[in-house]
Amino acid sequence: MSRHPKNWSLAGPCIIFIPTNKAKSSVDEQTSPSPFIQNVFHFEQENLNFNDLAKDVNGFTHWSAREYMVMLGYESYEAFRKAINKAISTCTTLDIDVSENFQQTTIDVAGRPEKDFRLSRFACYLVAMNADPKKLQVAQAQAFFAATAETIRRYVDNAEDVERVLIREEVSTHEKALNSAAKTAGVSDQGFALFQNAGYRGMYNMNLSQLKKHKGLQQGNRSLLDFMGKDELAANLFRLTQTELKLKNDQVCGQNNAVRVAEDVGKKVRNTMLEISGTKPEDMELAEDIKKVRTSLKQTHKGLNQIDG
């Protein structure tokens, strides 16, 4: 029996291949994935869909990553692993148990043992949100999960927000690394605020306090990074990594010299952005509070996995 509410519907087929018999997938865990010949991202009870292809091992409802790869329009498992790895990283960032959503296993593919994952419904959602957005099947899968989770109070249906969570975590990691490099270069604890501000001043052509006002950030005590969109976060991540690299490679010594490096690197990032997109970084719009996005993802995790008990 189908696992979804009877009245849900999803327009726009995503043509892929699925097993031909109408029944819950019974593909053995130790055999290669079955060929696919229909659309799965729909809620039509007379045809097999994503829900019907679920498997159950010891009470764990899941989907084979190698089968899911085909559903999303991928031909290479190596390429698909990139989306899986990003999804796993998202779980880690959210402090969600990876092993409850991504279980490693081995299946037989053309007579050879190959690694596979048993993916929970939430894992499938995260993989779809981190998959190639140019693929029609990926867009259809995202719409499918949005319809599946429409009863969840908060649901993240913007793939960019999911990516923001990952980039924000990377920024935090590299901020710590830059702090260490700056300290090694001679920046004091009292002088670190000046060092940090220099990087922003170079990139945004204004001090951090002025930048918050310019962007209209009302929570003045919060980090501006928590409200940056994906592209702006990525640009700041690049600024941080390159500043750290410059301090180390040039063996910069002295607080004034370190401050100068931070501002110079910021200016170069700014000039690159202007050259490529013509957009001033200070004019990039604020995004939703990253804390709210993280909370929404955790609620999505809880809501989607409740569907499977």
**DSSP per-residue codes, 29-84:** TTSPPPP--SB-SS--TTS--GGGG-EEETTEEEEEHHHHHHHTT---HHHHHHHH
Q: What is the pLDDT, as a whole number, of residue 85? A: 96
pLDDT, average across residues 176-182: 96
pLDDT, average across residues 157-184: 91
Enumerate the domain spans of the chain.
1-148, 159-294
At 150, the pLDDT band (50, 70, 90 cuts) reads low
pLDDT at residue 247 greater than cutoff 60: yes
- Measured CA to CA, the distance from residue 60 to residue 289 in angstroms comes to 33
Compute φ and ψ for 36, nearest 5 degrees. -120, 140
Angle at 161 between CA 158 and CA 165, to 5 degrees: 150
Percentage, residues of the chain above pLDDT 90: 64
Burial 149-162 (b: 16+ CB within 10 A, else e): beebeebbbbbebb
**pLDDT-wise least confident of 34-43, 78-87, 138-147:** 34-43
Q: What is the pLDDT, as a whole number, of residue 146? A: 79
Q: What is this structure's pTM? A: 0.69
pLDDT, average across residues 99-128: 93
pLDDT, average across residues 23-42: 49
**pLDDT-wise least confident of 7-11, 29-33, 156-160, 222-226:** 7-11
Tokens at 119, concatenated:
């993916």
279-298 pLDDT tens trace: 999 999 999 999 999 988 88
pLDDT at residue 153 greater than cutoff 80: no
Q: What is the mean pLDDT of the chain?
A: 85
How many residues appear in the chain? 309
Task: Compare 273 and 12 and report the one with higher pLDDT.
Answer: 273
At 309, the pLDDT band (50, 70, 90 cuts) reads low
Tokens at 19, concatenated:
């097993």
Q: What is the pLDDT, as a whole number, of residue 110? A: 86
Tokens at 18, concatenated:
């699925």
Q: What is the pLDDT, as a whole number, of residue 155? A: 53
**E strands present in the chain:** 55-57, 60-64, 102-109, 112-119
Q: What is the pLDDT, as a whole number, of residue 18? A: 40
At 152, the pLDDT band (50, 70, 90 cuts) reads low
